[in-house]
Structure 1
Amino acid sequence: MSFHLCAGTGPGLLLRLFLVFATVSVVVDGMNLWPMPKSVNYGSQTLYLSKDFKLRTEGSNYADGLGILQDGFSRMVDIVVASRAIGPNVTNSHVLAGIAVEISSSDDSLNFGIDESYKLFIPSTGYPLFGRIEAKTVYGALHGFQTFSQLCHFNFTTRNIELHLAPWIIDDQPRFLYRGLLIDTARHYQTLTVMKNVIDAMAYTKLNVLHWHIVDTQSFPLEIPSYPKLWNGAYSYSERYTMAEAAEIVLYAQKRGINVLAEIDVPGHAFSWGTGYPSLWPSSDCQQPLDVSNEFTFKVIDGILSDFSKVFKFKFVHLGGDEVDTRCWMTTPHVKKWLDKHGMNESKAYEYFVLRAQNIALSHGYEIVNWEETFNNFGNMLSPKTVVHNWLDVGVAPRVVAAGLRCIVSDQNNWYLDHLSTTWQQFYMNEPLTNITNHEHQKLVIGGEVCMWGETVDGSDIEQTIWPRAAAAAERLWTPFDKLAREPRQVTSRLAHFRCLLNQRGVAAGPITGGGRAAPEEPGSCYKQ
């Protein structure tokens, strides 16, 4: 049986045609796809990619005004070809001429909770032979491109790109809406090039939120037009980001289906703020947390979030709130006097600060993410639009969702990349829904995040510290629970293959052998390290 793919071929008819083919439904052991799709069927035929591999969009409602689809297709072709000299076209019926993409929605807004599902069909017969991706949004189609790219292999004998085991039918969607990676640019400055490289690798693994921990105690590298002296807290004149560069990162990420979650951590972790504006410190001798008694403190936060709202369009902003040592407030005379006047002790002042910062964020249209200490101390007072970011205690997430708040899981014992001895096996087996059995409560866990805190990484080693361990967590966050391996050894060879694929794409992913961030132990194949 054969068919001709053309405009107007309905998805139902197309699916029925594919199901006639001799496909084998598999539990995808041995399939070198990462992360594992929801459903995979495949056959036994080898196809050859045309040298003039085309993108078709007939029947799609999507106009691609920002070029997201075309750019994604071009990037996919580039990583498949990998600058190799491709041999002459094979002239037979098994040449795959291109891929047709049908997108239901005309909207290319990258909103939280958008439909990222896709269906990928690769036939084995027909002329001209075209693959097909069906998706609700362009961002689902981008995921389809990533999966397609992993089906392609370069044949060093014939010099052709081959696609094995056609026909393929892949039906896929993410398990969690939020699949994050934190980068910390306060402990070590990261160049735009490094950040873009990390974003590219996130797209390969289907992670979809870059949590940009921009500033901290050590440095304030970001331009804030409303308060231009804040970036006096940068390490040096050159280790800075303009707001235009921040917008460049946001757009670069959006074109790859990745949101940017910006964080300012208040009231603690803020010594660098006072380099430009010393009045933000309680005193010159006691410099953090930020001065809760000073109205200027909240004017600065308002100015920062006002400037953020022009660039960081993600639904959420992260306001930190962790590790707040309030002793400074009690030992600084004018702050202590203010606390006494308002009938506050240290803990109430901490609550007051966090809630006031939340209200400022809400006034700029944001919903809020706060670290778990805020929930632990005054969870019943937090805005219902709060997402609690769990990092310390594995028992917190069940309590957060039982209280009706949303949660992001970043268990420091298993998903902190700066813990250099934590193994990929621990990353893979960390389950965000541990001890959460109520279905309604499970839905409040919007996802998880691996955290690359910057104390021990700079541009020289950040990639091998992140990858492939973050990829192990990415499968946990993408793949349906019933398709996840029950023990890591079941996925070792597949992750090794993906790690080598990252290397081939220019990502400095480390070996999977050894513990944590590892180095090659001896000569040998990439696939054995």
Structure 2
Amino acid sequence: MGKITVTSLLLGILIHVIVVYADVKNLNIWPMPSSVSHGYNTLYIAKDFKLRTYQSKYADASGILKDGFTKLVDIIKGAHVIDYNYPGSSSSAILQGIHVIVASPSDELQYGVDESYNLDVPMQGKAAYALLKAQTIYGALHGLQTFSQLCNFNISTRAIEVRQVPWTISDQPRFSYRGLLIDTSRHYLSLPVIKKVIDSMAYAKLNVLHWHIVDTQSFPLEIPSYPKLWNGAYSLEERYTMADAAEIVRYAQRQGINVLSELDIPGHAQSWGVGYPSLWPSDKCMEPLDVSNEFTFKLIEGVLSDFSKIFKYKFVHLGGDEVDTTCWEKTPHVSEWLKKKNMNGTDAYEYFVLRAQKIAMSLGYEVVNWEETFNHFGNKLDRKTVVHNWLGGGVAERVVAAGLRCIVSNQGKWYLDHLDSTWQDFYMYEPLTNITSPAKQKLVIGGEVCMWGEHIDASDIEQTIWPRAAAAAERLWTSSNQLAKDSQDVYPRLSHFRCLLNQRGVAASPVNGYGRNVPSGPGSCYQQ
């Protein structure tokens, strides 16, 4: 009898495991957690759903957790009118609130911060609370985002339900760097638009806003050390004060998102010379910045010094891509300088990049450069350089073989302005392709989807980013053993997430078709 009982017990456990595994494919959580199990019962959110924090070392002096909880309640209500007198409202199937325990008292946000969390939602009980444990407040914020996706408004009862309880979720990111680039040089983006992008990033657990602030076309940011620089803005209205930039950093930080600022130099900098023409090699040759002029480097130091007061992320992006040195070689005074220094254009390109790196590092930054710098003189780059891949595949493999770190943004797969790239392309692209050594894999710090702004402004940015960015977000967050081998296995779940974004006011385009797609005709959101 004892043997039969044990056998039956083991069989029951095996059946339970199989059922949970089969259900994971159809769970409407995005990105998929590292480990998840659930039951088949339902709880109802209490009218006075509460946040409890006793036993937590995090005092929430800055209100990050309180704000995160308030946002949680707002998004699970979804602007619906809730009827708290629904059938069963007096039963024991009520979830009274969520108890959050954070181990670290610090709310410092920096690269590599612990973003793990554990979430448990009980089956029932008159005083039932969900339990969320995390090492840091930022792991707790991710847990709140996951909890929000467990909640549903039941149109029949007018109540908010947590279905499939009990839940046990253990989760942590696969990569520490999960980025989205926005470009405010090609088209200005207002602060409310940028904040909406930040909100949507948090929903998908992306954690770095790469702010490509200036470029050839415009210089919209105030630089107190050199106040004429923003003369290169499109108009007086299309500018950011330093206080605006600080507000973006503050707003992002409160949602667990770092801001990576970029100065793309020495190319892509024509707009700098509107205010300071001496930065141009000549009035007929306006970029790259004049490598022969000491004022160029003095100004760069001033800009980065001002940056360091606002942008506290440990990395700064110094560009370095698409530098055509012909201008230097054809401009008489620069050409003469090259001869005196015994340099050609390629040598001067290296000189410029390395000198700019030293300036940034003297201010406490570690530098990110686009991959051309590595392709041309990788062995000369500072060993703390992070190489940003964009031109194609195989780059990360070469970068980590050289002992440098890498961010992956293969333009054929993760450029959002490439409207012919489908969400399947985004989902199936693997940053660690052909990198098998664990030590080398650690040098790939993550990846980034890029929303270049030549044809993007406030009118179409959200539908161009989403839902394709979400496909990459799962690739960067979810453990490799949980990632689907066939993109079609996640289609229903991504479709559900896209509709969830729409319900939260994010203009995510339909899943079917290419980027920035439109509905094919009348029909349910879940079938587009």
Query: Per the shorter chain, which TM-score range?
Result: over 0.9
Equivalences for residues 61-210 of structure 1 within 5 A: 61-89=57-85, 90-210=89-209
Q: Match for residue 3 of structure 2?
A: none
Q: Match for residue 418 of structure 1?
A: 417
- 2-side partners of 1:288 and 1:111: how far apart? 34
Amino acid at match of 1:31: L
TM-score by length of 2: 0.95
Cα offsets for 1:57-89 (capped at 9, x unmatched)? 000000111111110000010000112111125
Q: Match for residue 362 of structure 1?
A: 361
Is 1:299 matched with 2:295? Answer: no
Report SS of the residue matched to 2:248. helix
How far apart are 1:517 and its partner, in Å? 2.1
Q: Match for residue 372 of structure 2?
A: 373
How far apart are 1:126 and its partner, in Å? 3.0
Segments ≥4 residues shifted beyond 2 Å: 22-27
Q: Match for residue 51 of structure 2?
A: 55
Q: Match for residue 39 of structure 2?
A: 43
Q: Match for residue 16 of structure 1?
A: none
Q: Match for residue 219 of structure 2?
A: 220
Q: Which moved more, 1:150-159 or 1:196-205?
A: 150-159
Report SS of the residue matched to 2:396. helix
Report SS of the residue matched to 1:289. coil
Q: Match for residue 21 of structure 2?
A: 26
- 2-side partners of 1:102 and 1:406: how far apart? 34
- 1-side partners of 2:438 and 2:84: how far apart? 55
Q: Match for residue 475 of structure 1?
A: 474
Q: Match for residue 12 of structure 1?
A: none
Report SS of the residue matched to 1:298. helix
- 2-side partners of 1:439 and 1:97: how far apart? 44
- 2-side partners of 1:310 and 1:65: how far apart? 22
How far apart are 1:515 and its partner, in Å? 2.0
8 Å CA contact 2:231–2:274 kept in 1: the answer is yes
- 1-side partners of 2:353 and 2:92: how far apart? 65
Structure 2: where are the runs of 5+ without partners? 1-12
How far apart are 1:241 and its partner, in Å? 0.3
Cα offsets for 1:197-231 (capped at 9, x unmatched)? 00000000000000000000000000000000000
Amino acid at match of 1:382: L
8 Å CA contact 2:175–2:446 kept in 1: the answer is yes
Cα offsets for 1:444-491 (capped at 9, x unmatched)? 000000000000111000000000000000000000111111111101
Amino acid at match of 1:217: T
- Give the paired residue count: 509
Q: Match for residue 351 of structure 2?
A: 352
Amino acid at match of 1:115: D
- 2-side partners of 1:249 and 1:232: how far apart? 22
8 Å CA contact 1:372–1:390 kept in 2: the answer is yes
- 2-side partners of 1:409 and 1:515: how far apart? 22
- 1-side partners of 2:224 and 2:21: how far apart? 55
- 1-side partners of 2:69 and 2:84: how far apart? 22
How far apart are 1:127 and its partner, in Å? 3.5
8 Å CA contact 1:421–1:517 kept in 2: the answer is no
Report SS of the residue matched to 2:228. helix
Q: Match for residue 321 of structure 2?
A: 322
Amino acid at match of 2:72: M
- Give the % identical residues: 68
8 Å CA contact 1:423–1:517 kept in 2: the answer is no
How far apart are 1:280 and its partner, in Å? 0.2
Report SS of the residue matched to 1:54. strand
- 2-side partners of 1:81 and 1:472: how far apart? 25
Amino acid at match of 1:436: I
Is 1:270 matched with 2:266? Answer: no
Is 1:523 matched with 2:502? Answer: no
How far apart are 1:26 and its partner, in Å? 2.5
How far apart are 1:395 and its partner, in Å? 1.4
- 2-side partners of 1:157 and 1:394: how far apart? 50
Q: Match for residue 285 of structure 1?
A: 284
Amino acid at match of 1:102: I
Cα offsets for 1:472-523 (capped at 9, x unmatched)? 0000000011111111110101000000000000000000111222110110
How far apart are 1:435 and its partner, in Å? 1.0
- 2-side partners of 1:412 and 1:83: how far apart? 38
Report SS of the residue matched to 1:404. coil
TM-score by length of 1: 0.95
Amino acid at match of 1:246: A
Report SS of the residue matched to 2:50. strand
Q: Which moved more, 1:494-503 or 1:122-131?
A: 122-131
Amino acid at match of 2:61: G
- RMSD of the alignment, in Å? 1.0
- 2-side partners of 1:66 and 1:220: how far apart? 33
Q: Match for residue 509 of structure 2?
A: 510
Cα offsets for 1:329-380 (capped at 9, x unmatched)? 0001110111111111111100000000000000110000000000000000
Report SS of the residue matched to 1:349. helix
- 2-side partners of 1:88 and 1:247: how far apart? 41
- 2-side partners of 1:387 and 1:64: how far apart? 33
Q: Match for residue 398 of structure 2?
A: 399
